[in-house]
Copies of this chain bind each other. A is one copy, B any other.
Amino acid sequence: MAKVLTSRSENYAQWYNDLVIKADLAENSAVRGCMVIKPYGYAIWERMQAELDRMFKETGHVNAYFPLFIPKSFFSREAAHVKGFAKECAVVTHYRLTADEENGGLKVDPSAKLEEELVIRPTSETIIWNTYRNWIQSYRDLPILINQWANVVRWEMRTRLFLRTAEFLWQEGHTAHETRAEAVEETLKILGVYATFAEQFLALPVIKGIKSETEKFAGAEDTYCIEALMQDGKALQAGTSHFLGQNFAKAFDVMFASKEGKQEYVWATSWGVSTRLMGALVMAHSDDNGLVLPPKLAPQQVVIVPIYKTPEEYAATVERAHLIKSQLVKHGITVKVDDRDTHKPGWKFAEYELKGVPVRLAIGPRDLENGTVEVARRDTLTKETVPMESLEVYIPALMDQIQAEIYNKALRFRTENTHKAETWEEFLDLVEKGGFISAHWDGTPETEKAIQEETKATIRCIPLDSIDEPGICIKTGRPSNRRAIFARAY
């Protein structure tokens, strides 16, 4: 079969786009910058949602839903926030269409102009903190631990499927606390949830760290993040957790009576991951043949393909396939039997490789005779012949093994592509090679900007587990006491 994808080495960006489309994950829509998430892509996203939702609930959070619209004036309340988001907002100005007598079709009805324009939420801090004002009077009303699953819109000029789209799906947590310490603890707790999710489900090793002043969220005191490395050596921010201090409480006048009877501003966090994780998943593990999905997120974990020539062989292999399916399903494994007589086995093999189904079983007449099955792994593209009677033990164990090995492979890749730079020359050299660069930096936004302008590399984060270590800034030679992680990034 002809290769359906551009290879990674040829053009990584094109490979990614080809793959997202050919594997039926998503496609561009008729609306600029907005995507259609197709059923196969959405099924993976649903698995991510289910796991994250479970983890949020296990850590005491509940879901709620706030309006899509934010009154324009709310944005002006928090100075940094407005600066960050006003430039890329979809704005609703009218509430009616009417017949266009001159040109035919429809036009906006000028008599239906809103008194105050409404912004489609790019993030919901403002509308939520305006609501929390009514919910919080006393310390007894705290903490509030709310998450929302929602769509948001940021009018990005250059978009890419999943990675950067005008509309995207996400979850946004918004919590309210009595004390700074409690809010910081929440921020870090969620960062931990995100890192655990990335490592255990996406099979993606991440660096937990804190953003520089330049890179932090518009309105946050501190932004924590998880940063992952893609196969082309570029970094991808996979999730952020913000300590918002009292910024939004002050902007929306949210105070509470403390245990001591004083009126105090409430402390806040917010945190989110989005359908961008779909992009991370694709770019971290997949290959020139198609998707490689970790079993824990694969909509179909096993596909069974019967191999036959005669109608008798068809009947016998399909029967066996369904028997095996019924055995595996008992172990919580999702199995599809592809018994379509309209497609050849070779076509099916290529299709499931493209779709990243972790394990493919093939059963032919010889297998029936010998009591065996051919087991093919998608991640390694290796095959083995396994006795039929051991499948019930073999396959569930193989799922765990694949999940672990995909993670380990990504971890090895990251280790091999993380380097220390001690001089500006080394840094320039490493930037061209790609990967994470651990380097001293003098801590100023000016130097950060100079480095970015010259190399397109940004500070991904200052890792939480980094140690105090005196050194000199690679760019300015000024003293530094900690390394930051630099990379070109998505």
Contacts and interface: CB of A to CB of B under 8 A. Distances in A.
A73 B108 CA distance: 11
Interface stretch (A90-98, A356-364, A385-393): A90-98
> Of A27, A65, A76, which is in contact with the most chain B CB atoms at under 10 Å from its CB?
A65
Given A36-B66, A71-B30, A76 B127 contact: no
Nearest to A140: B342
A305 B43 CA distance: 41
Contacts of A82: 97, 106
Interface in A268-321: none
B64 A36 contact: yes
Interface stretch (A117-125, A394-402, A456-464): A117-125
Indicate the size class of the contact surface on chain A.
35 or more
How many copies of this chain are found per oligomer?
2
Contacts of A120: 68, 92, 120
Interface string A60-99: 0011111111111111100000100011111111111110
Contact of A106 (B39, B76, B155): B76
A68 B34 contact: yes
A46 interface: yes
Interface centre among A35, A37, A106 (most CB of B within 10 A): A106
A452 B406 CA distance: 65
A97 B105 contact: no
Nearest to A165: B67
A68 B34 CA distance: 8
A63 B42 CA distance: 7
A38 interface: yes
Interface string A304-342: 000000000000000000000000000000000000001
24 contacts: A27-B134, A29-B127, A30-B67, A30-B74, A38-B64, A39-B64, A42-B64, A42-B65, A68-B151, A72-B106, A76-B104, A86-B97, A86-B98, A87-B96, A89-B97, A90-B94, A90-B95, A91-B94, A91-B95, A92-B120, A97-B119, A108-B117, A150-B151, A151-B151
